Structure 1
Amino acid sequence: MKKNKIRKNLLSAMACLILMYAFAVPCFAQESSTVIASYTEDLGNGITVVTTITENTSRSTKSHSKNKNYYYSGQWIGQATLSASFYYDGSVARATEVYGNGNGANGWSYGSQTVDKSGNTAYLSARLSMNGRSVPVEITFSCSPDGSIS
């Protein structure tokens, strides 16, 4: 008799766990990532930058990333990425979180990085350098009150 009661309680607990999992899964929306812009700039002196802006959305947040890949005479020398989350409601916008990272490649080093936010704008500043040559790395983007990124 006692074994049957334990077995019933165990089966009831397992059924509850299965139902909790089945109903919880739709609550966690999968994040999607969309490239919203990509372009190439010639900075002169053999330096070219390929910039890609990505929008990441989930059920309740909107964040953006701007990635810049740097090339010297066609050879990849490093990259930097600035990511930021924004609050906007149609009348105001502000950066709420910012994060930056980067790295050098092919003998170039990445350093002196600073990341900041002010109002509706996110900033990253750093340097790629090798053998006394230095390339400034600057990434900035802003969010308008309607959620558009520039």
Structure 2
Amino acid sequence: MKAVIQRVSKASVSIEGKKVANIHQGLLILLGIVDEDTQEDITWLTKKIANLRIFNDEEGIMNTSLLDVNGEAIVVSQFTLHASTKKGNRPSYIKAAKPDVAIPLYESFVQQFEVELGKKVQTGEFGADMKVELLNDGPVTIIIDTKDKV
């Protein structure tokens, strides 16, 4: 499971011109899933993201978490995070999990993240053609792959 975490001042997701998610201070999380991902990956990753100290404290130092700032979150599925570009110029997405595996894991990730935050997490729509807008704050962008946790 791979996540691209962006600290945002605001972010939104639109599908066919309709805004389906909209936040202010918080995190935009792009989530890529592979067949080997498990509930253990979800538990580890949601806890890690919720507690990442990437928000500024009163002295302007990145020392507080999403939990500390009572921030909001949007989670967007993004199979392209597992693109392979080793051969040629056309990315291969063979490692990305198919919907029958990815959708339940994506939904479980969102539910577990809501438990970690103690509030509703907004989402895009799995498999939809989404337009994502964000104002990256910092900019702060962190990439976490659960395969690198050990």
For the superposition of Structure 1 and Structure 2, which TM-score range results when normalised by the shorter chain?
A: under 0.3
Structure with more helix by fraction: 2
Normalised to the residue count of structure 1, the TM-score between the two structures is 0.28
- Which structure has the bigger radius of gyration? 1
More strand by share: 1
TM-score normalised by the chain length of structure 2: 0.28
Higher relative contact order (CA 8 A, sep 6+): 2
